[in-house]
Chain A
Amino acid sequence: MELVEAILLTVITASTPLLLAASGELVVERAGVLNLGIEGMMIIGAACGFAAAFTTGSVFIGALCGIAAGAALAGVFAALTLGLAANQVASGLALTILGVGLSGLIGTSYIGQKIVGAAHLHIPYLSDLPFVGKMVFGQDAFVYVSVALIAAIWYFLYRTRPGLVLRSVGDNHASAHALGYPVLKIRTLAVLFGGACAGLGGAYLPLAYTPFWVSGMTAGRGWIALALVVFASWMPWRLLIGAYLFGGITILQLHAQATGLGIPSQLMSSLPYLATVIVLVVISWMRGKAGSPAPASLGLAFVPDR
């Protein structure tokens, strides 16, 4: 029982960075932009977040700096792909490489340093309830923010007018423009929001998950976040399920290794990534006949005529 509780607790912490980054990307893609730079924005958020938290001693300021750094890199992406109508795939890949490189540079002086990680909530009695207590009432603030974010994004997309406009821009940017909606402005805001979420997701890693800095510590989570958006077929609540599923696989393979199954550890650590590939293949196979639920303008550059 205690082991199961421990596993579930770690699943939640492993899923939170994926969920944060993927929620941002979901909004970006709903607006019709494909940002492959998520990995870069996550890791720059992680490096800046750790540096700020270490310098100030405040996890909160660290998280803010992570958000700002992710959004800043996303700003570069927006300038390239929206301002200059550059290819989104190439720009996204380039920014991932840039982000990984920059994070190494920022992080050099912090290697081996430790901080006090994000505090966990403690409500007397509630948090002490058996089994559910710690899981529901004993998490760090990031976890609650990530779930609240999904609810907020769902409400925004499906219940508010700006959310409807954002979806319309992703579905058909030419029509949205013809109706007088500022396509590029909406997309820029979406991209900045996506970058901020990725930065926060990245910052979660050194601020709460493992409270120290290791270069390259996002370890491909940005790519999994991208796959999750497809897995969720661009629906916020499915994203929640998907993120916890993948977090679960990550943790299960760790425990499977600990129990000493006779499977090479390298193979076990590749499970989450393998699962990503398999899920994507299965999804596209199942959809073969049903059409894509992807936003129709996804990845297409838009240049308004003047």
Chain B
Amino acid sequence: MDDAVAVAPGPGRPVQPEGQVPLLEAVGIVKRYGDFTANDNINLQIWPTEVHALLGENGAGKSTLVKMIYGLLQPTAGEFKWQGEPIVLTGPASARARGIGMVFQHFSLFEQLTVAENVALGLDTAPLAGIDERVAEVSRAYGLPLDPKREVWRLSVGERQRIEIVRCLLQNPKLLILDEPTSVLTPQEVEQLFRTLRVLRTEGRAILYISHKLDEVRALCDTATILRGGKVVGTCDPRAESSQSIARMMVGTDIGEVRSDGSKKLGAPRLVVRDLSLMPDDPHGIRLEGISFEVPAGEVLGLAGVAGNGQDELFAALSGEVRSDRADMITIDGRAAGRLTITDRRRIGVAFVPEERLGHATAPRFKLSDNTLISGHVAGSMVRGGFIDRGQMVAFVDHITKSYDVRKGKPDPEAASLSGGNLQKYVVGREILREPKLLIISQPTWGVDAGAAAAIRQAIIDLASRGAAVLVMSQDLDELYEICDRLVVICAGRLSAPRVTRHADRGEIGMLMAGVGIKGKEDAHAARA
């Protein structure tokens, strides 16, 4: 392909004196799985003191490439050069020995072990004694506060990431790889992280920064290499490009902008939550305290918040997986619904899309047609007199497939065999095609590529414009700003007052996400009175 250009020194590259060699160079790296080529002839150079972005959609081959750089996978062809010398990385230990450290996207932490034990596991030779002091020392030096003796399950997501970073820094790496590090952080935590990364760069370390958040890449990175379909499609200075031009390289086409038709007519409240308080079953769960809000017909209400602040508990309370103490805590279309079962709530026109696609929204080993029954059994003609009608189920799968462009190998594959984006389109289609009056949707586009994400967001807006009420829970603030009419923020089980999205200041939302400015229970009462 002629668009697979070789890497040429870009204008934004930091100083590259004559005669110097790159810190790490990938030369013609190929990774094949059977017929499928995950990485096709990748060439890449990372220089010392460079923050190098690796951009691309899901499935573009970013993870495969960095796993090879970290020694977790072996390339089918091609070679890596470390400071000009060809190297073979037989495993993470050999990568670490060269000075390559990695912070994983899904943290590779051990919940039941302490911070210090987690750090010790990432170091190959460190003795167990004295690790507490070393952790304390590094966390002080880089402004990453951590208590070495605490168990990981007690920590917030931001603190967990600090463990990973401290673990890497204790090995004094020359190259630090970060895989989507900001996806779970508040804006303030992101700034803190960026400050730390800039300090690391001034110390002469290189950083390989994997992301799909273009604004961050433009704020932080010196060079960006863009992958598409397993190939390098371009290298640029992200500060010299616009987000749109980089996005075009990532996707290959322009992404349609999501917008409503502008004719917003808000109706009567479809969902009213009044003073919902709930103790969690799970000891690590969050207690909901005095949650109150309304979603009128025609509105998309966004719920922002850092993961683990009560979103899961609120979703369970709204869906009926956990029954409320009093029926009038949740009112759906004028009906007290707090004590209704999931099925009864579906009968009065509510649809749910939980965060977890596999295992919650779908049964992984069931075919798509069988999965239609999970929510479809309450209405329609799929079940008659206790017998299921396979024809109807298969027809519904076809309907979803056509309406939502679900790409699958077989007509009726197992749910687990679909890619994340296609499965999400299937789940969203399954729920929206039932024309619910109220849709509760959590992380609608988590891990979904840009094209599919735009389609899903458009479907949500269209549903609202047909008179439904929609509650969107998301950790992606950009997404909430794009599709929501109003925003509320949840922190530690408490909800902020709603803000109209157009007038909501991002800094303020970020402060609310960090718990600054959310009123206690008493104030919430006063505010409502």
Contact = CB atoms under 8 A, between A and B. Distances in A.
B445 to A, nearest CB: 24
A205 B284 CA distance: 44
Interface in B113-150: 113, 117, 120-122, 127-128
Interface string A171-183: 1101110111100
B82 interface: no
A112 interface: no
A30 to B, nearest CB: 10
Nearest to A177: B72
B110 A171 contact: yes
Interface in A138-186: 159-161, 164-165, 167-168, 171-172, 174-176, 178-181
Nearest to A178: B108
B46 to A, nearest CB: 21
Contact of A161 (B107, B112, B128, B282): B128
Contacts of A165: 121
A299 B405 CA distance: 38
Contacts of B73: 305-306
Contact of A179 (B108, B112, B282, B284): B108
B71 A180 contact: yes
Contacts of B128: 159-161, 164
Contacts of A180: 71-72, 91-93, 96
B438 to A, nearest CB: 32
A32 B9 CA distance: 49
A70 B283 CA distance: 39
A295 B284 CA distance: 16
A293 B283 CA distance: 12
A305 B63 CA distance: 13
A172 B121 contact: no
Interface string B56-85: 000000000000000111000000000000
A238 B265 CA distance: 65
B67 to A, nearest CB: 9
A178 B121 contact: no
Contacts of B127: 161
B121 A164 contact: yes
Contacts of B108: 172, 174-175, 178-179
**Chain B at the A interface: mostly helix, strand, loop or mixed?**
loop
A274 to B, nearest CB: 29
A128 B125 CA distance: 50
Nearest to B90: A180
A171 B93 contact: no
Interface size class of B (residues with CB under 8 A): 20 to 34
Contacts of B481: none
Nearest to B118: A168
A199 B377 CA distance: 52
A172 B152 CA distance: 12
A197 to B, nearest CB: 23
B117 A164 contact: yes
Interface in B494-526: none
A296 interface: yes
**Chain A at the B interface: mostly helix, strand, loop or mixed?**
loop
B104 interface: yes
Interface in A271-296: 289-291, 293, 295-296
Contacts of A160: 128
A6 to B, nearest CB: 43
B389 interface: no
Contacts of B177: none
B109 interface: yes
A171 B111 contact: yes
A178 B122 CA distance: 10
A172 B72 CA distance: 17
A142 to B, nearest CB: 32
A290 B283 contact: yes
B111 A179 contact: no
Contact of A172 (B71, B109, B122, B284): B109
Given A172-B108, A172-B110, A178-B72, A291 B283 contact: yes
Contact of A168 (B110, B282, B283, B284): B110
Nearest to B92: A180
A123 B91 CA distance: 54
A296 B151 CA distance: 14
A175 B282 contact: no
A171 B113 CA distance: 8
A277 to B, nearest CB: 24
Contacts of A289: 283
Given A180-B92, A290-B283, A175 B110 contact: yes
A164 B114 CA distance: 11
Nearest to A295: B112
A304 B517 CA distance: 46
Contacts of A293: 112
Contacts of A296: 111-112
Contacts of A175: 104, 107-110
A29 to B, nearest CB: 13
A295 to B, nearest CB: 8
Given A161-B128, A291-B283, A305-B73, A178 B104 contact: yes
Nearest to B128: A161
A179 B92 contact: yes
Contacts of B122: 179
B120 A164 contact: yes
Interface centre among B96, B112, B128, B283 (most CB of A within 10 A): B112
Contacts of B107: 175
Given A159-B128, A164-B128, A172 B91 contact: no
Interface centre among B110, B128, B284 (most CB of A within 10 A): B110
Nearest to B127: A161
A295 B53 CA distance: 37
Contacts of B120: 161, 164
B113 A167 contact: yes
B166 to A, nearest CB: 14
A30 B167 CA distance: 24
Contacts of A306: 73
A183 to B, nearest CB: 12
Contacts of B93: 180
Interface string A99-126: 0000000000000000000000000000
Nearest to B102: A178
Contact of B121 (A159, A174, A179, A290): A179
Interface string B255-282: 0000000000000000000000000001
A60 B187 CA distance: 67
Given A161-B128, A175-B109, A168 B92 contact: no
Interface of B: 71-73, 91-93, 96, 104, 107-113, 117, 120-122, 127-128, 282-284
Interface pairs A-B: 6 shortest CB-CB: A180-B92, A175-B108, A171-B110, A178-B108, A291-B283, A180-B93
26 contacts: A159-B128, A164-B120, A164-B121, A167-B112, A168-B117, A168-B121, A171-B110, A171-B111, A171-B112, A172-B111, A174-B108, A175-B104, A175-B108, A175-B110, A176-B110, A176-B121, A178-B108, A179-B92, A180-B71, A180-B96, A181-B121, A290-B283, A291-B283, A293-B112, A305-B73, A306-B73
Interface of A: 159-161, 164-165, 167-168, 171-172, 174-176, 178-181, 289-291, 293, 295-296, 305-306
Given A167-B112, A178-B108, A291-B282, 13 more contacts: A159-B128, A161-B120, A164-B120, A168-B113, A168-B117, A172-B110, A175-B107, A175-B108, A176-B121, A179-B92, A179-B121, A291-B284, A305-B73
